């Protein structure tokens, strides 16, 4: 997984596409949020945020 991240960073750095970084971070956060809502103990706390 770290090899993928390093290659992605190298491509972003080479092509000057640093604006992709915030998009990727937000997608990662939403993905983590979706995974956390699958467990029954954390779900009620996540739902109160929205």
pLDDT at 48 over 90: no
Question: What pLDDT is attached to residue 8?
Answer: 87
For residue 11, the SS3 value is helix
Please classify residue 4 by burial: count the beta carbons closer than 10 Å to its beta carbon, then call 0-12 exposed, 13-18 middle and 19+ buried.
exposed
Percent of the chain with pLDDT over 90: 16
The Cα 37–Cα 44 span in angstroms is 8
Mean pLDDT over residues 36-47, rounded? 71
Mean pLDDT over residues 15-37, rounded? 87
Question: What pLDDT is attached to residue 41?
Answer: 73
The average confidence (pLDDT) of the chain is: 82
Q: How many CB atoms lie within 10 A of CB 19?
A: 8
The Cα 39–Cα 26 span in angstroms is 21
């Amino acid at each position: 997984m770290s090899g993928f991240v390093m290659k992605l960073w190298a491509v972003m750095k080479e092509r000057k596409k640093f604006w992709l970084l915030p998009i990727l971070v937000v997608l990662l956060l939403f993905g983590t949020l979706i995974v956390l809502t699958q467990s029954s103990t954390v779900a009620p706390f996540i739902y109160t945020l929205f």
